[in-house]
Each structure stands twice: as structure tokens, then as C-alpha cells.
């Protein structure tokens, strides 16, 4: 089976992988939307969505009511509604850019997935082979470069809508995104200062970051969140801002901008923005997991290799691969739960507070952090 796959033309292989990613990202985004409603209900002490059920499924004895209470069918109802409701094109919009904006939103959201490794297995020689779509050497740099294109979709949507609230939302959101991008990039540099130890090739690869957190010994097995807590904190806060999540919900800002940049959108075009936002969250959580939470290592000081040996599956590449993907996805989903938890716990910032936090607190903190680690690592290694 796998031989057959690798004999195909690379372009066809790529197409299959691409469709696989879309087939994974879209349901996860849908499930995240349901989880978001359920988690918010849970935090606010109400039942949440628990009504929708297709009549033919109501006859299934135990499973039917259980899935109904879980709200699974609301996702399908929402998806169906998104596809089939009238896709009205308001008369006042700039049609070309109005349609282009959601497509531009999807582009970075789906492309960045390629550079994120999501698991690993061991080949017979005992080396770790990361599982990823494109083994890009510059890993993180590619992710940053492509994901920063996402700002164009916001500003295009806001501008093309030719309406007051979307325009303000788009301008605000783009200023916010570019402000926090600086802290985001600065906060990961100490990690790569640490990784690029003497005797190793210089790299920006995310898989190498995980490898560094799965070495034997106390310092080798330490996750970077313990080694560089300030970096992790700055990265996390910037991630919230970059994904437009509350408390940095300036792009949408329901309270003062109605729906922000996507006020004039509806039906499937709105759905594309929505999926793009969730896949940004997924990828951001994935990068945070890889850089600071040990990637596919189950616990600090317990690497994937040791864990697989404990379970007596270290010699089975398939089992180790599945195990690593499960651990990695588990951490990513835990991060997404954290996103939702914060959303329903912390109140929104005002715009001036957002800018103040980004430029006057996080950016100096990130620069000081970088200086500290640059000097500390230089002193240790000299």
C-alpha cells in the first residue's frame, strides 16, 4: 500500500496529501466550534446546544440521546446551513476583492500546515524520523513568513466591504497583527540560540526543537517552557493576539464593531474566514507545543523513545508513529481548550491597552529576554 503511494507522481502525492489535510482540518474546525459552544456553556453553567438530532437517528437507543446532548448534530446543521443559505453579495461592496478576501484567508491557514511536523517514528537504526508534509529546513521561518500573509485577508475584507464597521475592524486588526508579530518572532529566537549548539548544523526546524527536548539527562529532557518561561509567556500572549482570540478580539469586537471585518460576509465566504481562524489556532497551538511543550514527548524527562520502550512498541514504526501523533494532538487540543477557557474567563481589552501591551510591555520584555539568553548561552559555552 505504502509502496504504491510512493510510486505515484510527486504532484499526485502532493494532491493526495493536500486533500488529506483539508479533510482533517475542516472537521477539526467544525468540532472546535462545537467544543467552543460546549465549553462556554460549561463555564457559564448552562447546558449549551443539545437539541438538534435527525429523526432517523433519534431511534438509536443510547447513542442517539448521548450524541444529541453532546451537540454533535448542531455542527452538521451549522455546516449545512453555511453551504445552502443565500450567499448574498451586497450591492455596495467591491466584488472582486470581496470574494478574494476569504480565499486569501484560507491560503496561509492551509499552507502553514505543511511545515509543522506532527509526529515521529524511529527507523531501524534508531534515528528519529519526524512525520510532516514538507520536510522544510527553515520550518518555523516558513510558518512565520506564510502566516503573516493572513493580515492581507483582514485588510482586504475590511476595505472591500465598503462599509464603516468592517473597515474599522480591518484596520484595527491589521495594526494589532503586525504589532504582535514582532514579539512573536523575538520570543522564539532564544529557543533557536539554545538549539544551535556547537557541533550541530544551524537549523530553524521545528522537529529539531522537539529532538532537543527528548534527550537523556535532566537538562536534555527539560521542556523549553521550564527553561525559557519568559519566551513561552510572550509567545503565548502574542499567539492569542495573532489568532484574534479574546482577550485580543479587536478584529471582530462584537461590542463596538458588530462583527468587525466580516460583518458584510455570510454563508460560505464567512465559513472560510471561520475555518481559517480555527486552523490558525490549531497551527499556533501546534507550534507552541513543539517549541515549548516537548512536542510528541509524553512528559518532561520522559521522551517518546523511553515511553515506547515502556510499552514494548519501540521496534514498531507504525505504533510509535500513531502514539506520537496521539500525544501531539492531545497536547494541541489541550491548548485549544486553554484558548477557550481564556476566552470565557478574561474580559476584552480596549484598543489602547492592546497597543500598549504589545509595544510597551511585550516588545521590551522580548528584547530583554533575547539579550539575557544570548549572553547567558555565550557565557556557558565559552
Phi-psi region of 76 (alpha: psi -120 to 50; beta: other; left: phi over 0): alpha
Rank residues 71 and 166 by Cβ distance to another protein and give the closer one.
166
Rank residues 12 and 334 by Cβ distance to another protein and give the closer one.
12
Length of the chain measured in residues: 382
Distance (Å, whole) CA 282 – CA 145: 17
Least distance CB 239 / another protein (angstroms): 17
Least distance CB 268 / another protein (angstroms): 5
Rank residues 247 and 298 by Cβ distance to another protein and give the closer one.
247
Least distance CB 42 / another protein (angstroms): 31
Rank residues 71 and 130 by Cβ distance to another protein and give the closer one.
130
Q: CA distances (Å), 319 to each of 127, 303, 309, 310, 315, in order?
A: 16, 15, 11, 13, 9
Least distance CB 253 / another protein (angstroms): 13
Q: Give 5: exposed, middle or buried? Use CB within 10 Å, 0-12, 13-18, 19+.
A: exposed
Least distance CB 244 / another protein (angstroms): 16
Rank residues 38 and 269 by Cβ distance to another protein and give the closer one.
269
* 298 within 8 A of 304, measured Cβ to Cβ: yes
For the chain, how many helices (H) and strands (E)? 17, 2
Least distance CB 295 / another protein (angstroms): 19
Least distance CB 75 / another protein (angstroms): 18
Using DSSP, state whether 149 is helix, strand or coil.
coil
* 200 within 8 A of 193, measured Cβ to Cβ: no
Rank residues 80 and 330 by Cβ distance to another protein and give the closer one.
80
Rank residues 175 and 313 by Cβ distance to another protein and give the closer one.
175
Which set of grid coordinates corresponds to residue 229? 518561561
* 49 within 8 A of 138, measured Cβ to Cβ: no
Distance (Å, whole) CA 154 – CA 96: 15
Rank residues 187 and 214 by Cβ distance to another protein and give the closer one.
187
Which set of grid coordinates corresponds to residue 350? 480596549
Least distance CB 202 / another protein (angstroms): 4
Q: CA distances (Å), 252 to each of 17, 104, 172, 245, 325, in order?
A: 33, 18, 10, 9, 33
Amino acid at each position: 500500500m505504502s509502496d504504491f503511494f510512493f510510486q505515484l507522481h510527486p504532484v499526485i502525492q502532493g494532491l493526495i496529501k493536500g486533500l488529506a489535510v483539508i479533510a482533517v482540518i475542516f472537521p477539526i474546525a467544525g468540532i472546535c466550534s462545537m467544543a467552543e459552544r460546549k465549553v462556554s456553556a460549561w463555564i457559564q453553567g448552562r447546558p449549551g446546544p443539545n437539541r438538534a438530532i435527525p429523526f432517523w437517528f433519534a431511534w438509536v437507543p443510547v447513542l442517539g440521546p448521548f450524541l444529541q446532548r453532546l451537540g454533535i448534530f448542531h455542527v452538521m446543521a451549522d455546516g449545512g446551513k453555511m453551504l445552502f443559505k443565500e450567499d448574498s453579495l451586497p450591492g455596495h461592496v467591491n466584488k472582486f476583492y470581496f470574494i478574494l478576501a476569504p480565499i486569501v484567508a484560507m491560503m496561509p491557514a492551509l499552507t502553514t500546515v505543511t511545515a509543522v511536523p506532527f509526529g515521529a517514528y524511529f527507523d531501524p537504526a534508531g534515528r528519529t524520523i519526524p512525520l510532516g508534509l514538507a520536510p522544510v529546513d527553515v520550518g518555523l521561518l516558513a510558518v512565520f513568513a506564510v502566516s503573516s500573509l493572513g493580515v492581507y485577508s483582514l485588510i482586504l475584507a475590511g476595505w472591500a466591504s465598503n462599509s464603516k464597521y468592517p473597515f474599522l475592524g480591518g484596520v484595527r486588526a491589521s495594526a494589532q497583527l503586525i504589532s504582535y508579530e514582532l514579539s512573536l518572532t523575538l520570543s522564539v529566537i532564544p529557543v533557536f540560540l539554545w538549539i544551535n549548539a556547537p557541533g550541530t548544523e544551524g537549523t530553524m526546524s521545528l522537529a529539531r526543537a522537539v529532538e532537543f527536548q527528548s534527550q537523556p539527562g535532566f537538562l536534555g529532557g527539560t521542556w523549553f517552557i521550564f527553561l525559557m518561561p519568559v519566551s513561552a509567556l510572550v509567545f503565548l500572549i502574542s499567539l492569542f493576539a495573532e489568532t484574534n482570540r479574546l482577550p485580543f478580539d479587536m478584529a471582530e469586537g462584537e461590542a463596538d464593531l458588530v462583527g468587525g471585518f466580516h460583518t458584510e460576509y455570510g454563508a460560505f465566504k464567512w465559513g472560510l474566514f471561520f475555518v481559517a481562524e480555527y486552523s490558525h489556532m490549531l497551527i499556533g497551538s501546534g507550534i507552541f507545543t513543539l517549541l515549548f511543550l516537548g512536542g510528541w514527548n509524553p512528559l518532561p524527562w520522559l521522551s517518546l523513545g523511553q515511553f515506547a520502550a515502556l510499552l514494548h512498541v519501540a521496534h514498531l514504526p507504525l505504533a510509535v508513529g500513531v502514539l506520537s501523533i496521539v500525544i501531539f494532538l492531545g497536547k494541541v487540543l489541550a491548548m485549544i481548550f486553554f484558548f477557550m477557557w481564556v476566552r470565557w474567563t478574561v474580559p476584552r481589552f480596549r484598543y489602547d491597552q492592546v497597543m500598549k501591551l504589545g509595544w510597551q510591555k511585550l516588545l521590551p520584555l522580548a528584547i530583554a529576554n533575547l539579550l539575557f539568553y544570548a549572553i547567558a548561552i555565550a557565557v556557558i559555552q565559552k
